[in-house]
Copies of this chain bind each other. A is one copy, B any other.
Amino acid sequence: MEVQAVDYLAEERGKAAFDVEAMKVVWAGSRHSLEVSDRMARLVASDPVFQKDTRTMLGRKELFNNTLRKAAHAWKRINELRLTEEEAEKLRNFVDEPSYVDLHWGMFIPAIKGQGTDEQQNKWLTLAYKMQIIGCYAQTELGHGSNVQGLETTATFDPKSDEFVIHSPTLTSSKWWPGGLGKVSTHAVVYARLITDGQDHGVHGFIVQLRSLDDHSPLPGITVGDIGTKFGNGAYNTMDNGVLQFDHVRIPRDQMLMRLSKVTREGKYLHSDVPRQLVYGTMVYVRQTIVADASIALSRAVCIAVRYSAIRRQFGSQDGGPESQVIDYKTQQNRLFPLLATAYAFRFVGEWLKWLYADVMQRLQASDFSTLSEAHACTAGLKSLTTSITADGIEECRKLCGGHGYLCSSGLPELFAVYVPSCTYEGDNVVLLLQVARFLVKTVSRLGSGKKPLGTTAYMGRVEHLMQCRSDVRKAEDWLNPSAILEAFEARAIRMAVSCAQNIGKASSPEEGFSELSADLVEAAVAHCQLIIVSKFIEKVQGDVDGQGVKEQLQILCNIYALSLLHKHLGDFLSTGCITPNQGALANDQLRALYSQLRPNAIALVDAFNYTDHYLGSVLGRYDGNVYPHLYEAALKDPLNDSVVPEGYDAHIKPVLKQRFRVSRL
């Protein structure tokens, strides 16, 4: 099948009322960031080793081996090309295949950086940066994920030999899930209960060598393996998530990570004077990257769905002319455009979180812990909200592509499967929302004390106004006013928090009340977090934005984001009396008008993500829109098409067709 070099989306691109190149800079965060991303994406896309179009067809072993090959090749290229750390990270990112490398750079090294003494960092980071050792992060166990304090692995200090004895006392204490552990890592940061002289000091980190650096075989006392197939084709099956058991494994005392607390030669347990709050800094950092990743993942799915919705035609043919593009259907717009707006919203809140992290670290260094609990709650909530919405949003984009979205060649099934664990890891999303809620209830309870709420809870300082204000929206266009939107979201959030706090007050005890009302508390936390995202989007739009028409597009997206949330959570806004049913209906009218404004710019708005066809990995989302010949081509590559008559014909089809059963009733 010959493929023509035609841009089937050229007409769509011509409709854009804004400067796409300028929007690319806005999306990337800076001209520099765009340039580096663009260069690294093309580098990966043009290298045949990094091809990924048959990934979803491979069996587990073949797939895993292929990932090892890519990881080694990436490391080689990074060194040959003398890439900077920023470039190297982006290159690894565009390789777009989970592997041990992610854990080595993303968890093992940061853990040692955060929890190791200067001496420990000197020793271990030198090896790790050169990949002379490969490390992973062994925290979760078969029986314990969310509740870190309940981990069962023990590290018992033996003063005789000056060693810790790492041990797995039960089956459920097996380390379970750590990425890179199963087959690759030579070392791990292992979390275990520290025991000295019979006393349990809780969970601490230890550097443990797992495999011989000579022949890669597990060291004595170590049982290690892969935990098996995970959700989806390709996806995380490229990763050796592992299981690990210790049978009294001895490590030197200096392999306990001792920056925050240490065990002396005599077996004494001591805290250092480094503030323990530093741990929260790391948490803010990790969650900030997760929010940034959410906007990437969602924007990839949206890019595919928007492009294919402009290519796909169905129904509505008049006089034998072409059928309607499905992107012109209001039902399609009503599902797709809010997700497009959400991708941008998440991008900007992620950008703001980078600032927040820098701010928190600066304060920590100055021993200013005043903003910490607010920053902690805020990042917990944003991690939860953005990952849940992104996971659901990818699946919605898949459905918006009709039947073909179910094919792996659409790229969407793998995108979903590889993304969805982020709803569970680094804090289960519901557990995190309960943490936010706890913080909100506490903030509410202190409102009378004269202490002003900080940061993203500052609006709560205006509690009196927000508890009794009523929206003055009178016509649909009034909803375009940012202050109308902001006040409605603020009023809703604070009223839900206050109502929860009041109801908890009626319970026999606060804990009892908190537990009984936890479903309501989760909803209050969601309302608060949505407000944060809406307000950061509004701030972005109100700031300096370069490029012809760019600000206007962001304004439209911002309004779509806010008003679609308002419609989705109408029950909250009405039950708290923030708006009237009629004002809700006006918001909906305005939303429809905004869809019409967005429509001609939709393709250009996803072009602004600047994704290569390689990175998107989707026949449906091709830049040139030339979908159908490539769907056909992708199908032909399936192993089942190696032969026209399938291998099982003689054994399992012919007998069915030719057999005669005398005994059958049928």
Contact = CB atoms under 8 A, between A and B. Distances in A.
Interface string A33-68: 000000000000000000000001111111011001
Given A68-B648, A217-B645, A653-B68, A640 B331 contact: no
Contact of A60 (B72, B130, B174, B639): B639
A122 to B, nearest CB: 16
Contacts of A232: 231-233, 413, 417
Contact of A640 (B182, B323, B629): B182
A155 interface: no
Interface in A214-264: 215-218, 224-233, 236, 240, 243
A187 to B, nearest CB: 11
A424 B642 CA distance: 29
Interface string A423-450: 1110011100010000000000000000
Interface in A109-154: 129-134, 140, 142-147, 150
Given A225-B644, A323-B150, A331-B519, A652 B315 contact: no
Interface stretch (A16-24, A83-91, A361-369, A465-473): A83-91
Interface string A568-602: 01111111110001001100100010000000000
A85 B664 CA distance: 11
Given A79-B663, A132-B657, A516-B592, A652 B68 contact: yes
A271 B573 CA distance: 57
A638 B60 contact: yes
A323 B148 CA distance: 13
Contact of A402 (B240, B424, B634, B646): B424
A341 to B, nearest CB: 15
Interface stretch (A275-283, A352-360, A404-412, A481-489): A404-412
In this complex, which of A130, A331, A577, A584 has the most chain B Cβ atoms within 10 angstroms of its Cβ?
Answer: A331
B581 A585 contact: no
A184 interface: yes
Interface in A642-666: 642, 644-649, 651-657, 659-661, 663-666
A403 B640 CA distance: 33
Contacts of A334: 518-519
A449 B190 CA distance: 76
A635 interface: yes
A134 B657 contact: yes
A394 to B, nearest CB: 11
B243 A632 contact: yes
15 contacts: A57-B60, A69-B652, A72-B653, A82-B664, A130-B666, A145-B403, A171-B632, A213-B657, A225-B644, A226-B640, A227-B638, A231-B233, A240-B640, A334-B518, A403-B424
Interface of A: 1, 56-62, 64-65, 68-69, 71-72, 75-76, 78-80, 82-85, 88, 129-134, 140, 142-147, 150, 171-172, 174, 177, 182-184, 186, 213, 215-218, 224-233, 236, 240, 243, 313-315, 317, 323, 329-331, 334-335, 395, 398-399, 402-403, 405-409, 413, 417, 420-421, 423-425, 428-430, 434, 515-520, 522, 567, 569-577, 581, 584-585, 588, 592, 628-629, 631-632, 634-642, 644-649, 651-657, 659-661, 663-666
